[in-house]
């Protein structure tokens, strides 16, 4: 196993290229979307799990883990989420084949419940950071400021007392005035500090370094976010919890009302919109005397954009797909069927879209 880990870490680009080629070929397997064919989905899931394990091996390289301050449990949760997502399609196909269309929702509900539990655990262990890719990616803080700040970017450019001042920018030396005079004074102060350190005896510098207390970095708890961070913390936690629980609620509603009912579709869409609205609101609140806003990192901003793009999947979910989207796809197919090559490619694309739509796991966005 150690030899395999070493090989994967040394040949990362080759491994990724091979995985992409294999995953692409599986889409062309015969009867990929047949209800009686579990084999193609099992092959696709196996390749997905293998890709996940390889990426986990790359991400848990000792030097990379130490550089980003990643813990073993954090990486393990992301691995669990990825494996569950890869295996969910096999669970759906097998349940539909052996238990029937209606009973498969029981198994999917169990799978979504396990995923929700794992994601909530990952959310807690990460210090209540935003889940990236549904928890598949570890949220490494890339904000400007003190490395390893587990406060979620809340204390960025903070003045004494914990509140941001628009006349200051933040670096490793603390608050720096934006004005030219202020920057010059700050630079002189730092120059004086450096000169003083150079003039001190070496033994005194060593003594200072050894005597400086190393304070452990504490991750925020639910109590600190919910009560001490004010309204922004509550909105952020509520928005993430809605995002985590939405797929489970959606499956339970389908189990109750059926896939062609508008209730699961509308409630699921409402939960997605409400969650993103709460997250956006929690990051845009102005700091108050009893509230600190949550500042998003670059990766978290990208995650919000990804979640907004996932809303497009609602046109692929029944009953919207059966009533509207499918009609337009068939119309486009008939219109382009007379064009050589383009007609063939369009027909194949429509076939793949219609086939993928029959799988809950391909359109659930979970």
Q: What is the pLDDT of residues 52-74, one digit of tens each?
A: 777 777 777 766 555 555 555 55
Residue 137 in 3-state DSSP? Answer: strand
Residue 271 covered by a domain: no
Report, in angstroms and rounded to the nearest whole number, the Rg of the chain calculated over CA atoms.
26
For 340, list phi and psi in degrees, rounded to 5.
Answer: -60, 145
Final residue before a domain boundary, out of 97, 120, 140: 140
What is the reported pLDDT for 196?
46
Residue with the two structure tokens 């920057």: 183
Among 100, 115, 140, give the residue marking a domain's end: 140
Tell me if residue 127 falls in helix, strand or coil: coil
Instruction: Give the CA distances from residue 346 to residues 237, 323, 352, 354, 362, in Å, rounded to whole numbers and listed in that order.
Output: 43, 21, 10, 12, 20
Q: Which residue has the higher pLDDT, 308 or 205?
A: 308
> Range of 355's domain?
317-366
pTM of the model: 0.71
**Residue 8: inside a domain, yes or no?**
yes
331: exposed, middle or buried (C-beta count within 10 Å: 0-12, 13-18, 19+)?
Answer: exposed
d(CA 283, CA 236): 8
Whether the pLDDT of residue 264 is over 70: the answer is yes
pLDDT digits (tens, 9 = 90+) for 173-211: 444 444 444 555 455 455 455 544 444 444 444 444 444
Distance CA 121, CA 177 (A): 41
pLDDT at position 186: 54
Tell me, yes or no, whether 104 lies in a domain: yes
148's torsion region: left (phi>0), alpha (psi -120 to 50) or beta?
left
Domain-embedded: residue 333: yes
Identify whether the C-beta of residue 129 lies closer than 8 Å to the C-beta of residue 279: no
Within a domain: 49:
yes
pLDDT, tens only, 316-358: 999 999 999 999 998 988 888 888 888 888 888 888 888 888 8
Residue 117 lies in a domain: yes
Nearest to 126 by CA among 82, 63, 52, 72: 72
**CA–CA dist 180, 48 (Å, integer):** 54
The mean pLDDT of the chain is 74
Q: What is the pLDDT of residues 10-25, one digit of tens each?
A: 777 777 777 677 666 6
Percent of the chain with pLDDT over 90: 25
Q: Would you say residue 187 lies in a domain?
A: no
Contact 91, 107 (CB under 8 A): yes
Q: Does residue 151 fall inside a structural domain?
A: no
Which residue, 124, 140, 156, sits at the end of a domain?
A: 140
Considering its fold, how many domains does the chain have in total? 2
């Amino acid at each position: 196993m150690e030899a395999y880990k070493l090989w994967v870490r040394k040949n990362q680009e080759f491994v990724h290229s091979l995985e992409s080629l294999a995953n692409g070929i599986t889409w062309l397997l015969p009867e990929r979307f047949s209800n009686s064919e579990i084999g193609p989905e099992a092959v696709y899931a196996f390749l997905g799990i293998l890709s996940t394990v390889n990426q986990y091996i790359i991400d848990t390289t000792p030097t990379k883990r130490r550089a980003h301050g990643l813990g073993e449990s954090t990486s393990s949760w992301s691995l669990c989420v990825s494996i569950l997502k890869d295996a969910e399609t096999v669970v759906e196909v097998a349940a539909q084949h052996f238990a029937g269309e209606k009973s498969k929702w029981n198994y999917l509900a169990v799978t979504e419940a396990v995923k929700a539990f794992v994601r909530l655990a990952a959310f807690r262990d990460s210090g209540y950071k935003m889940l990236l890719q549904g928890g598949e990616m570890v949220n490494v803080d890339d904000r400007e400021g003190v490395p390893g700040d587990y406060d979620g970017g809340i204390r960025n450019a903070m003045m004494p007392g914990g509140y941001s001042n628009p006349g200051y920018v933040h670096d490793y030396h603390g608050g720096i005035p934006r004005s030219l005079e202020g920057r010059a004074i700050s630079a002189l102060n730092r120059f004086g500090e450096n000169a003083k350190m150079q003039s001190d005896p070496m033994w005194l510098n060593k003594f200072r370094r050894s005597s400086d207390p190393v304070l452990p970095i504490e991750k925020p708890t639910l109590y600190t976010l919910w009560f001490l961070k004010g309204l922004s913390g509550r909105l952020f936690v509520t928005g993430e919890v809605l995002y985590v629980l939405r797929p489970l609620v959606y499956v339970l509603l389908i189990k109750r009302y059926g896939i062609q009912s508008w209730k699961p579709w509308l409630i699921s869409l409402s939960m997605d919109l409400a969650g993103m609205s709460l997250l956006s609101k929690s990051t845009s609140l102005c700091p108050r005397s009893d509230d600190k806003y949550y500042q998003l990192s670059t990766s978290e901003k990208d995650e919000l954009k990804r979640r907004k793009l996932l809303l497009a999947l609602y046109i692929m979910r029944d009953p919207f797909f059966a009533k509207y989207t499918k009609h337009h796809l068939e119309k486009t197919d008939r219109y382009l069927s007379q064009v050589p090559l383009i007609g063939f490619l369009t027909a194949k694309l429509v076939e793949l879209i219609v086939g993928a739509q029959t799988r809950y796991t391909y359109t659930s966005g979970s």
